Structure 1
Amino acid sequence: MGTVTRSQRFVLALVCAVAVSVIYAIQPVLEAAGVGLGLARESLGWLVAAGQVGYFAGLVLLVPLGDVLNRRRLIIVHLLLTAVGAAIVAVAPNGAVAVTGLAVAGLFAVVVQVTVAYVAAVSAPDERGRNIGAVTSGVVVGILGVRVLAGVLGDTVSWRAVYALLAVLCVVLARIVRTALDPDPRTSGTKYVHVLASMGRLVRTDRLFLSRGLITFFLFASFGTLWSGLALPLGSDPWNFGTTQIGLFGVVGLAGALGAARAGRWADSGRAQAITGSALVLLTAAWLLVARIEATLWPLIIGVIVLDFAVQAVHVSSQHLLTAAHPDHASSVIGAYMACYSLGSALGAITTTWAYSNWGWTAACWVGAAYSLSALVLWGLGQITRRGVASSRNPQPKCRDVAPISVEC
């Protein structure tokens, strides 16, 4: 372990931003892509689902390779294959080819999790949270920033232009990674099959993972409720915004998400659990502001900033705790953790459109608040359990929140 330089953190954050963008770039230009590919409106969902399905498969099958192989080399290879998928989408003559390209791009976009595991592995223990926070900020930059980029390019050039650009960026980044990053040699000697088996045991038996996995599931269900559904009320009366204007709300979200980068430093000081609880309270309260869009957009803007700050703070804290508890299996732990993220995001996307179609934006916001409140309740129950276990072991020492089974005294 050593020191990760500022320039290396920037490169790793950029890898995360570009890779995750290939999954979400299709959303702001969905209707234009459907017209260009000759797809019926009822089939457009396949364009969104393809990347998510590929991503989920990559989390389970590809991310664990990081516990077996040199992660720097994996980052390079995955970036190049992500570029192939994005290029296929950019030149796709029909819907079937586009869906294939999106699935390939999503499959190898899990380079994001390999990157997080890399930075956790090469960081000194007292810098791990800070470095993870800086690198994962790139994920949120990609998710939100690509909405702006795709919206602008879709209106001015073509919906295909964003995927052509992303393909080029992936190739350029692969070259930069090769020269800018140090290799991280594997020391555990674990075989790939054994790593997959360990993921199954982790999900079944690890108390810390079960707690953080469930919190993350509801956390990103809440996040997905906002960003999968926000275009619906903004594109309708009284606002009637176009894709570029709607995409600009991603900039608002970026302000909050980047503000939470400091959460990693707080986690390094042993406050990861406290950060989680406070951020989940903020997340739940933010929905009261997000719901108010009838007369003015200022409550929505403030609510989006607070919501994205809270989500990123919890996300960084969770990854800090898990990688600290499982330093030799960071890739498989992050892969399993992000599977919870992926499933939660999908749930949020499905339920927000259902709630909005039936009862309007206020109902969708109540759904998002219910998800965040569920995460807060789970965190509270976990705190009660931690204190009970700690008291039964030894009532004297103060417990820290970085242990394989969620307590260490």
Structure 2
Amino acid sequence: MLRPDSRRLSPAVAWLFSVASGLAVANVYYAQPLLDLIADDLRISHATVGLVGTLTQVGYAAGLLLLVPLGDHVDRRILITAQLGLSVAALAAVALAPSAPLMLLAMAAVGLLAVVAQVLVAYAASLAGPADRGRVVGTVTSGIVVGILLARTIAGTIGDLAGWRAVYVVSAVATGAMAAVLAAVVPAERRRRPAPIGYLRLVGSVFTLFAREPVLRVRAGLALLIFTAVTVLLTPMVLPLAAPPFALSHTEIGLFGLAGAAGALGAGYAGRQADRGRARRTVAIGLTAMLAAWPAAALLPHSVWWLVLAMVVIDYGLQSVHVVNHHLLYQVRPEAQSRLTAGYMLLYSAGSALGAIGSTLVYERGGWTAVCLLGGAVSLLALVFWRLTDRPPHRALNRRAAPRRAAPRRAAGRRAVSR
């Protein structure tokens, strides 16, 4: 619950939000290591079963635009618990689907409702105090990335032991339990009632914010590039790992998600640095780390440990930039946090799609080395883009991120500038 002496969110509830976000977004990625099992069970071709991932991602993109903006005009506690409850029904429908069309429809619904993770991020940011917002956003965001990375490991293990349907049964039970816990623990939202606005106008205002807020354009553009780079690494890596000389099983390949999860722990540190007014330095370190990961990834033919190192480094860099992006966005328009999140994440999703498509095509024509060159080029482009766009008001916004308690230790002139 909220601390009685302030609006700050307690660390325990922040971690609860983190776990809930991870559970929600993992639903989008469970199917990836299960496609062959699903195809065999429902007697569909491998070309058709590929629609599972496509429809789930399409549903997720639709949810970003159609559901996440609602957080600015309805009680987010109610919105979160409702989405989690409907997610239980969608997951159960997947587990019980008797045919491919019904399964695909249910998968699209799973993706649509998984955007509750982004509603949780915006809600946590609104509940946090200004001096703690970066830490809280970092905590919740780390749960999302860990959920994405561990989804393949969990799904592969349960699928091997009990079949693909058991994965969605387990997820439905866990999601239902989380909905009950959040309903009992999280307080109702207390904020000034917003002026009435039609639903279509609310959704359309996401695009209006792009036109009016340069910080959103810059941060969303950076998100597109960094998530393109990471997806370039994650999407085709199963191909060299499954082939000789490594010939790893799906379960063993899924364990590589643990390496990425270790790198994602940098989200909390990045959030604390942003709270101290060090957002710019944190982004610089993060983008440099992402670029430095690719030479290590290129050494995969010599040892899988080079890929492990690359995953830790690139995910650390990704989280550093991603958390700072959220931190700066939420200072622009506090009354529009959910719509800012929706706009930002739309370009994130576009980057993930571009990375998946581009890396697959490049691997087919040039192999793993070509994939690493593509990823390195995108990471370099992200670093250049940031350097070209890191100008006022972005630097002034970074300085305003510093907590007020640090002001007495600074010269009066610097305090005046930071304001």
Paired amino acid for 1:85: A
Instruction: Give the 3-state SS of the residue equivalent to 1:142 in structure 2.
Output: helix
Structure 1 residue 295 corresponds to structure 2 residue 307: no
Aligned length: 397
The alignment yields a C-alpha RMSD, in angstroms, of 1.8
Q: 1:188 offset after TM fit, Å? A: 5.0
Contact 2:61/2:346 (8 A) holds in 1: yes
Q: Which residue of 1 aligns with 2:161?
A: 156
- 1:401 equivalent to 2:395? Answer no
Summarize the Cα distance change of 1:104–1:374 in structure 2 as closer, same or farther, 3 Å threshold: same
Taking structure 1 as the reference length, the TM-score comes to 0.93
CA distance in 2, matches of 1:24, 1:331: 23
Deviation at 1:375, TM superposition (A): 1.3
Q: Does 1:178 align with 2:153?
A: no
User: Shift of the alpha carbon at 1:34?
Assistant: 1.6
Cα distance in 2, alignment partners of residues 93 and 362 from structure 1: 42
Unaligned runs of 5+ in 2: 1-5, 402-416
Give the Å deviation of 1:376. Answer: 1.0
- 2-side partners of 1:93 and 1:241: how far apart? 32
Residue in 2 that maps onto 1:316: 323
Q: Structure 1 CA distance, aligned partners of 2:7 and 2:400? A: 22
Displacement of 1:260 in angstroms is 3.1
* Alpha-carbon distance in 2 for matches of 1:233, 1:381: 36
Secondary structure of residue in 2 paired with 1:116:
helix
User: How far apart are residue 365 of structure 1 and its match?
Assistant: 1.6
1:234 alignment counterpart:
241
Q: Which residue of 2 aligns with 1:360?
A: 367
Opposite residue 258 of structure 1, the aligned amino acid is L
Which of the residues 273, 278, 288 maps onto 1:281? 288
Match for residue 344 of structure 1 among 351, 365, 369: 351
TM-fit CA distance, 1:92 = 1.6
**Match for residue 248 of structure 1 among 245, 249, 255:** 255
Equivalent-residue separation in structure 2 for 1:36 and 1:353 (angstroms): 26
Structure 1 residues 129-178: Cα deviation after superposition (integer angstroms, max 9, x where no partner): 00010011110111011111111111111011111111111111110001
Q: CA deviation at 1:374?
A: 1.6
Counterpart contact for 2:277–2:400, Cα < 8 Å: no
Q: What does 1:324-343 correspond to in 2, within 5 Å? A: 324-343=331-350
1:9 pairs with 11, 14, 24, which one? 14
Give me the whole-angstrom Cα distance separating, in 2, the residues matched to 1:236 and 1:261.
Answer: 36
Q: Is the 8 A contact 1:70 1:186 kept in 2?
A: no
CA distance in 2 between counterparts of 1:98 and 1:291 reads 38
Q: For 1:67-78, what aligned pairs fall within 5 Å after superposition?
A: 67-78=72-83
SS for the counterpart of 1:189 is: coil
Residue 369 (structure 1) shift: 1.6
1:241 match: secondary structure: coil
Distance 2:124 2:208 in 1: 24
Identity of aligned residues (%): 38
Matched, 1:64 2:65: no
Q: Could you tell me how far apart the structure 1 residues matched to 2:93 and 2:369 are? A: 39
Q: Which residue of 1 aligns with 2:3?
A: none
2:31 match: 26
- Alpha-carbon offset, residue 194 of structure 1: 4.0
Structure 2 distance, partners of 1:361, 1:202, is: 39
Shift of 1:403: 7.3
Structure 2 Cα separation of the partners of residues 188 and 272 of structure 1: 32
Deviation per CA, 1:178-208, whole angstroms, max 9, x where unpaired?
1111111342514244432321111123111
Q: What is the rounded CA distance, in whole Å, between the counterparts of 1:292 and 1:44 in structure 2?
A: 33
Distance 1:304 1:118, change over 3 A: same
The more displaced of 212-221 and 92-101 is 92-101
Kindly indicate whether residue 262 of structure 2 is the aligned counterpart of residue 265 of structure 1.
Answer: no
Once residues 418 and 52 of structure 2 are traced to their aligned partners in structure 1, the CA distance between those partners, rounded to angstroms, is 45
1:131 aligns with 2:128: no
Give me the TM-score of the superposition, normalised by structure 2.
0.91
**C-alpha displacement of 1:402:** 6.3
Mapped partners of 2:70, 2:33: distance in 1: 33
Contact 2:141-2:267 within 8 A present in 1 as well: no
Shift of 1:12: 0.4
Number of the residue aligned with 2:86: 81
Amino acid at match of 1:84: A
How far does the alpha carbon of each residue in 1:387-408 deviate from its partner, in whole angstroms, 9 at most, with x for none?
xx79xxxxxxx8342679xx97
Residues 1:408 and 1:205: Cα distance change in structure 2 (over 3 Å): farther
Residue 25 of structure 2 contacts residue 117 of structure 2 at CA under 8 Å; is this kept in 1? yes
